[in-house]
Each structure stands twice: as structure tokens, then as C-alpha cells.
Structure 1
Amino acid sequence: MVDWTHERHAAAAVTRIERMARTVEGADFSTPVPTCPGWDLRQLVLHTGAVHRWAASMVRDLASERLDRTAIEAGFADLPSEELAAWLHKGAGLLDEALTAHDAGAPMWAWGGDRHVRFWSRRQLHETVVHHADAALALGEAPGIAEDVAIDGVEEFLDVLPYARRWRPEVRELAGDGETISWRTGSGAAWLITLGPEGFAYERSAARATATLHTDTAAELLLVVWRRGELERHRLEGETKLLRWWADHSMI
């Protein structure tokens, strides 16, 4: 099992950005992105590259408050499509320079619970993994997500999900009276989510649950939890309506 550190997350983020840039190089940027309804490939790449630059700016300055991302996005709105892949690739270097300039534990603003530089290396890895999957699927290619990356990505999703309630009120409803949801993968990784009165908690466990979702790989599970894969294409057991309810309320 991979020992994920800030340095490893940062390196993996750079690699994934470079892979995404290669995926979109020479593509038709008017291609619709089905997993991001209303977006085409150009909008997807502009958003992703702007997020990298936004995060790099905050990490570089160890920002104590959120910077305005929309201003960064607006600055590249007129970028010619033939330059988009190279522009996205350049963002990898900018992000890497910022992330590796500081200690993992340096305090700074973050929208999740871990308000340190290390939040951003992990978040930018999985931000890019998901949006690379968006691009690949739009172009008819396989996302190609390694199992170790996907396993960490599933847990990162569960770690940040409670903090999304600030812009997704439905997340506040992810509570219950002890109901449990199991996510199990053919590669052996498994999680147990328990819904309590104050919210949900999770642990690595293959224990029996109220409802269970089975996927062949953690990569497939990662796509499902980020709503890039269809729940119904996988094996569901128990009170399946609970799995659908979770999917509807955990969309961020």
C-alpha cells in the first residue's frame, strides 16, 4: 500500500496534469463533456488550468484567506484553443514550484478541514484525476486511474465531503440513525460509512451493511462517488434506495 505524503501527492499531481495535457493535445475543444453537463472540452480545460493556478497562488503566499478564482479564470478566457494543452501543461510546473517550496505542515487557508499546505497537494491531485477522467471519457478514452491513486481519492472525497455543505446544502442531510453503507472493490479495498445523528463517519472495513455497492476496482468506485460513473452499472445489495439517496445528497 502506498504511503501517501505531501511530496508524493505533489509529484502525482504534476504527472496527472501532464497526462491530461497530452490527452487534450490536438483535440476538438468544442467536444461536449457528458460528465460535466453544459461544458465543452475548452471550458473543462480552462477551469482545470485556472484551478491549478489559483491553488499555486495561494500556496506560494501561504494565503490566510481564499483568493478570488473567478478573476484568474477570466484572465485566460480568450486563450486560443491551439494553446490550451501547452497552457495546461505549464500549470503543472507552477503548481509543483509552489507545493515544493513549503513544508507540508505550513498553515494556510483551505476549504477542507486540513488547513495546511498538504491539503492542496492532495486536493489538486484528485481535482485533476477527476477532470482528466472527464476529458478522457469525452474523447472516448479510458481514464486510466491507478488503484493506489483511486483508493486515496475515495478517502479524500469522504474527508472533504462534510465541508461542501457550505455550497451544497444537501450534504447536511447525510445523517441517520445508524444505517450503514458499504463500498467494496474487487481489488480488496473496502469502506464502511455509518450515518449518525450528527452526520456520517467512515472506516476501512468490509463489514456487513444496510446497503452495499460492489465495483470491480477502486478506480470505478472513484468515478461513481464523483458522479462520473453510473451507480446502476454495478452490483447493488441490501436497501439499494439508500445507495441512491447517498448518491443524490453527496454530489459536489
Structure 2
Amino acid sequence: MDFTRLHDCLAADHDPLRAVVDTGLDAPVPTCPGWTVADLTRHVGEMYAHKTAAVRESVEPEPWPPEEFAEEEPRALLDRNVHGIARRVRRPCPRDPAAAWYGPDQTVGLWIGRTAQETVVHRIDAELAAGQPVAPVPDDLAVDGIDELPKAFVACSVAEWGDCFTGVPAGAPGATFLVRTDAAA
């Protein structure tokens, strides 16, 4: 997906996510068992801060998250860090270096894509927690996320950390899934 389009998707999904946060931090998040909206809000704020640091410093910050984040009110953490990621990823070229867990792509472009995907997923989590209708995901962002799953998460993770996955195939049910990306389906 185009770098500018990913940035636009991030901005478009952050605003409704932020609006839902104000409806109740104590609400449980049905798609994140054990989490409340406060936990979800903190997670997204920490994610934005992490990606900002990875781009700014070209090193993934360790340890993560910083201890002081635990003391910060979740909405304030989210608000402070969305502005940081928005500024940080807008300035550099998508091909500029940035530290990342994904070996084949150590660029700013990877992080804007990951941030846009996390934001849309957690916007949906927040809408479900608030009992609100789930806004649609733009087709191009959905396809980008579907494409990312086998390429980045499955292939890279198995190649990098194969020992962690040795038991997965043995317990897999052998199901096949069809993913359709056309709006007429």
C-alpha cells in the first residue's frame, strides 16, 4: 500500500478509536479477553510510542514499555503518542531505516503499515467494547492486512523462531479457509 494512504488510514481510524475511549474505560473488550478499554487504550498508546522510538532511534527500545507509562492515565498516553507517531512517520522517506523485528524490512514504511493495521484492529475492538456498530475497513487496508499475515507474521516468524512453532502443525485441525476480498461477496 502507498505510504501516504497508510498514514491517512492511521489518522482515519485513530479518531473514532479515540472517541470510543471516552465512552467508558471500564468496559470489557470482548475480542481481548481480560482487557478493559483502559487496557486497550494503554496498549495502543504504548504501541505508538514504541514505533516512534524505533523510527527515531533506529533501535527497538528495550526494555519495553518504560515503567513510567504505568503511571500515566491511558487517554493521556494515547493522545501524547499518536502525535509522536504521526509526526515521526510523516517526515522520513518510507525507505529510510528503522529498527524492526521483521528482518526483510527494516524501514519506516514497515512501521507505518504496522501502525495503521494495529489502529484499525483496535478501533474495531473499542467499537465492540462500546456496543457500537463496527465501521467498515477500507478494502485496500483490509487487503494489505491479509497480505501481511502470511508474508510477515507466518513466514518470517517460522523462519526466525521455528522452535516456537513445532507443536502447531501437530495440533492443527487441517481446516482450509477462503479469504475473499471483493465487496460483492
TM range (shorter): 0.7 to 0.9
What letter corresponds to residue 129 of structure 1 in structure 2? V
More helix by share: 2
- The residue aligned with 1:56 is 52
The answer to whether the aligner puts 1:92 opposite 2:82 as a matched pair is: yes
Q: Residue 106 of structure 2: which of 91, 115, 127 is its match?
A: 115
1:51 alignment partner AA: M
- Aligned CA distance change for structure 1 residues 6 and 69 (closer, same or farther; 3 Å): farther
> C-alpha displacement at 1:164, in angstroms?
3.5
| 2:70 partner SS | coil
TM-score norm. by structure 2 comes to 0.81
Partner of residue 132, structure 2: 141
Indicate the residue corresponding to 1:203 in structure 2.
Answer: none
Tell me: CA distance 1:60–1:167, structure 2 relative to 1, closer, same or farther (3 Å): farther
Counterpart in the other structure of 1:68: 62
Alpha-carbon distance in 2 for matches of 1:171, 1:137: 34
Check 1:7–1:42 CA distance in 2 against 1; reply closer, same or farther (3 A cut).
Answer: same
Q: Which runs of 5+ in 2 are unaligned?
A: none
Which digits, 9 at most, give the CA deviation of each residue in 1:84-136, with x for residues without a partner?
1x542443221111112211111222112311110001000001111111111
Question: Structure 1, residues 20-45: CA drift from partner, whole Å, max 9, x if none?
Answer: 111212x2211111211111111110
Q: Among residues 19, 26, 34, which one is paired with 1:22 in the alignment?
A: 19
Is the Cα contact below 8 Å between 1:60 and 1:99 reproduced in 2? no
> What secondary structure is seen at the aligned counterpart in 2 of 1:184?
coil
Larger Rg: 1
- Contact kept in structure 2, 1:33 and 1:39, CA below 8 Å: yes
Distance 1:43 1:180, change over 3 A: closer
Aligned AA (2:64): T
Q: Match for 1:170 among 158, 165, 168? A: 165
Q: Is the 8 A contact 2:29 2:129 kept in 1?
A: yes
Once residues 12 and 78 of structure 2 are traced to their aligned partners in structure 1, the CA distance between those partners, rounded to angstroms, is 12
Looking at secondary structure, tell me which structure has more strand per residue.
Answer: 1
Report the counterpart of residue 237 of structure 1 in structure 2: none
| Cα-to-partner distance string for 1:47-89 (whole Å, 9 max, x where unaligned) | 111110110122123x1x32126333x32323346xx1x5424
Give 1:43's aligned amino acid: D
Tell me what 2:91 maps to: 101
CA distance in 2, matches of 1:37, 1:18: 24
**Structural mapping, 1:155-234, within 5 Å:** 155-162=147-154, 163-165=156-158, 166=161, 169-170=164-165, 173=168, 181-185=176-180, 187=182, 216=185
Q: In 2, distance between residues paired with 1:168 and 1:41?
A: 34
Instruction: Return 5+ residue gaps in structure 1 as ranges.
Output: 190-215, 217-252
Greater mean alpha carbon deviation, residues 92-101 or residues 179-188: 179-188
Higher relative CO (CA 8 A, sep ≥ 6), structure 1 or 2?
Answer: 2
Q: After superposition, what is the alpha-carbon deviation per residue over 1:155-189, rounded to whole angstroms, capped at 9, x for unaligned?
A: 122222123444992388569xxx99452327269
In 2, the alpha carbon distance for the partners of 1:152 and 1:69 equals: 30
